[in-house]
């Protein structure tokens, strides 16, 4: 049912856990559009998710990699290039986890060691991936690198806690490394700022359902689904978007530019 | 050579003048992707451009319409729907002209009657098109409306004169009407903020070549061409981008997020 | 009770109508801080407001001027400079009115002649004032020009209607003319994006009270009052802020950077 | 020569090193405006800077504190409150240092342990200060907390390296903690995005002089000096700006909103 938009393209997809994951949907859509992919996630995630089944279904190799480990990432790049028989065209980074949230520390009672770990996992991993890919000369010209983010990088959602800072960091890495990738290989780097999504990860956050519903009302088109996000990723991996780089792209049904929705005030 | 991304879709394209125009390239790419289109421009532009040849080549009806005239726009919508045998899926607005620039009035010596005309032509025309399309119920659900803009809406380029304000206005119309279109028909409305482009219109601006070259150096991927912009428009008319709305999308090789390029300082 | 922050400075204040007006409070605070001022408003506003009493109280000349008339503005500048015995140091623009709102036309049923008038009154008047002041060489070096705006220029508040576009236009004029004023006279030009304010003008808008309350809850410090806005204007007219220019400055208790307030969801 | 704008207010100033430092000028101006202050810096900085002389001149206690140490910050808060005989009204954070820059690691060859240290020193220290101040209940109502930042948080300046991310992080902390401080004590938190400044720290960066000159030409008012920044800090510590919070405030002579300056192209 695809349009062969990614025919002949190869890429690595980080972060597919189960069939609720955005990365899972992206993997399916990329293959549907003709791409060849490698799936990766942290060793622990590989154990209890269904990623191996996804790999079989999509004829995709699954390679374990802790995205906070340079060694794992080096191995991932080496093995992926061997699998692909050469360089790749796209990378999706969909990784995020907050230790302070998980351990229920409030924003004004942060454990800073945990904050460092949160940043390492959720943001610096993106820099690590890009740095390793550059050192390995792993990207074809005009390739596309994407990471998933959230508007908490720009606006305050109190319960999002230190993930706000993680996403600010992630988006800054996209801009900064986007310059270097453009100059080196004409590769573009962007972030997609996605609606709150009913994933296994997302739904664990405090008050998530009320918040999901608030966001849905505030968004004139409603919240964007994981499937719609996968479609958008396809467009950004395709050759239709070669000159879009260093951008944070809202995929949110219009949420980001709403000041007040009458639906929230029950005015309409 | 296309991917049938717009198979079965229909749309109106404003502003194709000659084969340098972005709208011209968009028209070609839309048809290549399977769309059926109507071409339109002001009566005077129809006379000295080559749009009729383009219409023949693309099997597209050409309908004259002054975009500042509600009557002309009503006629355009009626005739287009008759031609399409129903509603449409996309609209491209690519219209801009400044009387004060043309008549060499400096920004601190503005003729306000001309400024009103500039706004009418370059920005309010976009509102008129959207209002008429809504009154005529001319858009299919999940359709896509686009206008072309420039980063002078956010930052100061002194020679751009009152076109800066025209573009601010245009982008504001996209946001505001985007809300109403989303609620009414799930139609999205966005603007593409395009690199300076070597069109017949663009190259008439004072110091354009030096400026084009400056922008090219400041953009890590270089300036985006009209052809690349057409590709981007295709992605935004396609179903891959259904939840992107009320956004201003930079298609500029990274210009918008550069603070300083070493290339400008001759440091690299 | 002031701190003599504006000792020796002179300025024109547009838009004081009654003691609810922000401009009224600004006038009082400027005089309290040692400034000498001229008050101005449209001839019709002078008749039914209390501006003449304010003028007497503040020992300020009141000069009628329709801000859409170059002739009136020329007269205003001439008379003000005569009153001051020389050039001035600051100007406040606090003018806005929407004909389509007043006449209850919805955003998708706009009368474009009225839209032109709205832009003329609410935004182009600011350009006219700055252009006339420049032609008359009316500003001292390091002077400060301010206009009041609202976040509807960036985000959608559906009931704000065409005032969204008016404010986008106004802010764009501040940026563009800010460049020219800086180069010519080191004068700075900024806009203050103020909380919704319980003025005679503001409270006429549909659903204003519910909206005021929504904004108050969304703002961590609550809505900023007219009096607080006057304080902020004083800081921006003073010499403490000489290098702040071409900015849109949010004076809104934090509203602009909130994504979701638990108070809105009744979570806290 | 002051205006008693900070009469009766008390505050801590981080980061004064020598008389080129912005924090040094802020300290002088705050005292000039009637404030009582405590000066603090890292133990090593206390040794080779002139901060003790400054302390004597301003009658200010100097307290050593490593801003990456909770213990040091706790001691600082305790001693400061003892010195002030109560709570305080303002805090200035002016701290930044990049290990990867200092050790000449390029952005695509980052040492991640050093990056963690850079973030700890340059950004997380700001969170630590605010968290400790909140735990100690050290701020008076309507107080003001400021940190100094740079536009590299939004735009790419390749040589700024990982300091771009540090500043993104810092600004995100200001927004997020700004919400909590507003709710708890009506305290505001903002960042000032300052022009490049000829400080001992700034001038160590590669190509700084060329860059300083570029920025000066791109800024319609020229680069803002350290002294002008001190004035601006005074305005933000004063009661004139009580409702400005969670903002990043450009103090840059207009640089942030310039797209192209004719001066750069030698067109003017």
State the pLDDT at residue D263: 86
Instruction: Report, as an integer, the average pLDDT of C20-48.
Output: 95
Domain of B177 in residue numbering reads as 10-257
Cα separation, B227 vs D207, in Å, equals 37
pLDDT at B223 over 70: yes
More confident residue, A198 or A126: A126
Q: Identify whether A82 is part of a domain.
A: yes
More confident residue, C266 or C25: C25
Sorted by sequence, the CB contacts under 8 Å of residue B37 that are 6+ apart come out as: B10, B11, B12, B13, B27, B30, B31, B58, B60
Chain A: which residues have CB within 8 Å of chain B? 3-5, 175, 178-179, 182-183, 186, 188, 195, 220-221, 224-225, 228-229, 231-232, 234-235, 238-247, 249-254, 256-258
Where do the DSSP E strands lie in chain C?
10-14, 36-41, 61-64, 88-93, 139-149, 188-194, 248-251
User: pLDDT by residue (tens digit) across A199-226?
Assistant: 776 666 668 888 999 999 999 999 999 9
The pairing of strands D139-149 and D188-194 is parallel
Cα separation, B139 vs B80, in Å, equals 11
Chain A: which residues have CB within 8 Å of chain C? 151-152, 154-159, 207, 210-211, 214-215, 254, 257-262, 264-265, 267
Q: Which residues of C touch B115 (CB under 8 A)?
A: 124, 127
ipTM for the predicted complex: 0.97
Say if the Cβ atoms of D228 and C251 lie within 8 Å: no
Say if the Cβ atoms of A214 and C265 lie within 8 Å: yes
User: pLDDT by residue (tens digit) across C111-135?
Assistant: 999 999 999 999 999 999 999 999 9
Q: Which residues of A touch D179 (CB under 8 A)?
A: 156, 158
**Please, which pLDDT band fits residue C49 given cuts at 50, 70 and 90?**
confident
State the pLDDT at residue A203: 66
Say if the Cβ atoms of B172 and C165 lie within 8 Å: yes
Q: Which helix (DSSP H) or strand (DSSP E) does residue C134 occupy?
A: helix C125-135
Q: Identify whether A265 is part of a domain.
A: no
**Please, which pLDDT band fits residue A106 given cuts at 50, 70 and 90?**
very high
pLDDT at A124 over 80: yes
More confident residue, A29 or D208: A29
Say if the Cβ atoms of D179 and A158 lie within 8 Å: yes
Cα separation, C91 vs C121, in Å, equals 17
Percent of chain A at pLDDT exceeding 70: 96
User: pLDDT by residue (tens digit) across C225-249?
Assistant: 999 999 999 999 999 999 999 999 9
Burial class (CB in 10 A: 0-12, 13-18, 19+), C124: buried
Task: For residue D259, give the nearest of B152, B257, B261 by CB distance.
Answer: B152
pLDDT at B47 over 90: no
C58 in Cβ contact with C28 (< 8 Å): yes
Instruction: Report, as an integer, the average pLDDT of B167-175.
Output: 98
Percent of chain C at pLDDT exceeding 70: 96
Q: Identify whether B265 is part of a domain.
A: no
Q: Identify whether C265 is part of a domain.
A: no
Say if the Cβ atoms of D164 and A158 lie within 8 Å: no
State the pLDDT at residue A205: 65
pLDDT at A266 over 90: no
Q: Identify whether D224 is part of a domain.
A: yes
The distance of B267 to chain D (nearest Cα, Å) reads 8
Instruction: Report, as an integer, the average pLDDT of C58-73.
Output: 98
In the predicted model, residues of chain D with pLDDT beneath 50 are 268
CATH code of the domain in which C113 resides: 3.40.50.720
The sheet with strand C139-149 has its strands ordered as: C61-64, C36-41, C10-14, C88-93, C139-149, C188-194, C248-251
Chain D: which residues have CB within 8 Å of chain A? 70, 107-110, 112, 115-116, 119-120, 124, 127-128, 130-131, 134-135, 153, 155-156, 158, 164-165, 168-169, 171-173, 175-180, 246
Q: Identify whether C77 is part of a domain.
A: yes
User: pLDDT by residue (tens digit) across B106-133?
Assistant: 999 999 999 999 999 999 999 999 999 9
Integer-rounded Cα radius of gyration of chain B = 18
**Please, which pLDDT band fits residue A170 given cuts at 50, 70 and 90?**
very high
Task: For residue A164, give the nearest of D119, D165, D172 by CB distance.
Answer: D172
Cα separation, B6 vs B11, in Å, equals 10
Chains that touch C (3 or more CB pairs under 8 A): A, B, D
Q: Identify whether D196 is part of a domain.
A: yes
The pairing of strands C139-149 and C188-194 is parallel
The distance of B63 to chain D (nearest Cα, Å) reads 37
pLDDT at C27 over 60: yes
pLDDT at C70 over 80: yes
pLDDT at B54 over 80: yes
Q: Identify whether A235 is part of a domain.
A: yes
Say if the Cβ atoms of C254 and D228 lie within 8 Å: no
Instruction: Report, as an integer, the average pLDDT of A12-32.
Output: 96
The distance of C95 to chain D (nearest Cα, Å) reads 22
**How far from the centroid of its chain's Cα atoms is residue A132's Cα?**
17
The distance of A55 to chain C (nearest Cα, Å) reads 37
**Please, which pLDDT band fits residue A181 given cuts at 50, 70 and 90?**
very high
Task: Dig out the tokens for C180 from the structure.
Answer: 């020219």
The pairing of strands B248-251 and C10-14 is unpaired
Least confident interval from A123-137, B226-240, C186-200: C186-200
Burial class (CB in 10 A: 0-12, 13-18, 19+), A108: middle
State the pLDDT at residue B268: 47
Say if the Cβ atoms of C220 and D249 lie within 8 Å: no
Q: CA–CA distance from A247 to each of A146, A189, B18, B240 (Å)?
A: 10, 8, 31, 18
pLDDT at A268 over 50: no
| Domain count for chain B | 1
Sorted by sequence, the CB contacts under 8 Å of residue C150 that are 6+ apart come out as: C160, C163, C167, C193, C194, C196
User: pLDDT by residue (tens digit) across B12-28?
Assistant: 999 999 999 999 999 99
Residue reference for tokens 């108070």: C263
State the pLDDT at residue C268: 47
Task: For residue A156, give the nearest of C210, C259, C265 by CB distance.
Answer: C259
State the pLDDT at residue D268: 47
């Amino acid at each position: 049912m695809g349009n062969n938009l990614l025919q002949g393209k190869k890429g690595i997809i980080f972060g597919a856990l189960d069939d609720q994951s955005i990365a899972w949907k992206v993997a399916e859509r990329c293959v549907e559009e003709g791409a060849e992919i490698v799936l990766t996630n942290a060793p622990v995630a590989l154990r209890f998710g269904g990623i191996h089944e996804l790999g079989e279904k999509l004829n995709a190799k699954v390679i374990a990699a802790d995205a906070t480990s340079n060694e794992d990432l080096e191995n991932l790049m080496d093995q992926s290039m061997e699998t692909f028989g050469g360089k790749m065209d796209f990378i999706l980074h969909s990784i995020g986890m907050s230790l302070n949230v998980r351990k229920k520390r409030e924003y004004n009672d942060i454990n800073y060691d945990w904050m460092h770990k949160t940043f390492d996992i959720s943001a610096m991993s993106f820099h690590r991936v890009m740095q390793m890919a550059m050192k390995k000369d792993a990207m074809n010209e005009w390739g596309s690198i994407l990471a998933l983010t959230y508007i908490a990088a720009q606006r305050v959602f109190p319960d999002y806690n230190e993930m706000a800072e993680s996403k600010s960091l992630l988006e800054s890495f996209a801009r900064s490394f986007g310059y270097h990738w453009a100059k080196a290989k004409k590769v573009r780097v962007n972030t997609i700022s996605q609606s709150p999504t009913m994933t296994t990860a997302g739904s664990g956050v405090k008050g998530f359902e009320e918040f999901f519903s608030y966001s849905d009302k505030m968004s004139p088109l409603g919240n964007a689904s994981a499937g719609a996000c996968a479609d958008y990723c396809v467009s950004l991996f395709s050759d239709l978007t070669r000159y879009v780089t260093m951008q944070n792209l809202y995929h949110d049904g219009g949420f980001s530019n709403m000041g007040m929705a009458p639906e929230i005030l029950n005015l309409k």
